[in-house]
Amino acid sequence: MKLVVDQKIFEYTPEIDKKIGPAVAGVLHTEVFEVVRIEKGVVNHVYKIATSAGPVIARVFSRKGWPEEQKLQWIESQLSAHDIPHAKLRYISRHVTHFPYGFMVVEYIDGQDGWEAIQSGTTDGEVYFDQLGTLLRSVHNIGILQFGQVAHGKGTHVELCAYLQERIEEDIVQLRTIPELPASLIDAVVHTFQSACSQYMHQMRPVLTHGDPSPHNTRLTPDKKVVLVDWDNAEASSFLRDIAALTYEGVHMDHAGDLDRLKLQWQSAFWKGYGTIDISTSIREEIIRMFHIIQAARLLTFYAFRKRDPKNYRMTLTLLQRLLQVTSL
């Protein structure tokens, strides 16, 4: 089993601030008037740029080969073909002319992010989640041949569990190197995954999923339309992958305030917008729990090794224990 080691990260420096304006002007053949760095850009280096052709968002890639340009180009074509509102892709390249791993430029969507719009009273939470449900249903209507990473409408695996198995194996290997984590906890992760796969996953079909449809990754436009942005984590998966990402109790959901309200009123509004599905509520909840466990296990390795963060590590460990119904270490 091969353990994938993170590639070298292209870290932020003020030099990027100086280079991004001329780079955008060159590839878009436009004038640049103002460059503003967006500090919420966690993975890549993100800028809002005012140009003579209108405002755009530029993202300087911090990792080699991620996100995949062919995937983003295919998603752009599909969203346009299905008339789904999105930030149009203006330019993307992995060429090293300007930055080591390349950069991309997308249309700027005017408005507020979802949580800001709800918290400021620009929109009602139930109205917002109803719209988000309708939008995600449109995305999930885009079918893909197989599960996994997508380019040109094709996945990489016939079975969803085979794809997820590859991903979770890397995390399990790393978790077993953490001295304070007992083998029983890690074994419980593996058992829950295998149990869900054997019982439920044959019912799933591959569709386009956003991967992180939190309100943080949406814009509410001035005419009150919800638009999904940041498709880096998109892949062919079960539609429940997106529902699980939306309801994961992590850094996104803490902006909701009362989680009980989210789970009851806003969840009802979401499903009203999304429409009926052909699996039972109990099976749906078990598959979502499996995705939550996979997410927690992945974040545990992230906070332990990639971005060392003791506070978030402990919070994630507590959440994982609760999801596995493990009361003590």
How confident is the model at residue 155, as a pLDDT? Answer: 86
Q: Where are the beta strands (DSSP E) in the chain?
A: 32-38, 45-51, 56-60, 89-93, 103-107, 112-113, 207-209, 218-220, 226-228, 235-237
Indicate the Cα dihedral angle 293, 299, 301, 303, nearest 10°.
Answer: -150
CA distance 297 to 306: 13
Cβ neighbour number for residue 80 with a 10 Å cutoff: 12
How confident is the model at residue 4, as a pLDDT? Answer: 42
- In the chain, pLDDT over 70 holds for what percent of residues? 91
Interval 112-138: pLDDT, tens: 999 899 989 999 989 999 999 999 999
Domains 14-107 and 112-324 share a fold: no
Interval 242-258: pLDDT, tens: 999 988 875 455 455 55
* CATH class for the domain made up of 112-324: alpha beta
Interval 278-310: pLDDT, tens: 899 899 999 999 999 999 999 999 999 878 889
Interval 14-56: pLDDT, tens: 999 999 999 999 999 999 999 999 976 567 999 999 999 999 9
Write down the domain spans for the chain.
14-107, 112-324
How confident is the model at residue 154, as a pLDDT? Answer: 86
**What token pair was written down for 42?**
């966690």
CA distance 140 to 284: 16
How would residue 207 be classed by pLDDT, with cut points 50, 70 and 90? very high
Q: Which of these ranges, 219-228, 287-296, 297-306, 318-327, has the smallest mean pLDDT?
A: 318-327
How confident is the model at residue 206, as a pLDDT? Answer: 95
How confident is the model at residue 165, as a pLDDT? Answer: 93
Predicted confidence (pLDDT) at residue 2 exceeds the cutoff of 50: no
Q: What CATH number should be reported for the domain whose range is 14-107?
A: 3.30.200.20
Q: Are 31 and 52 in contact (CB under 8 A)?
A: yes
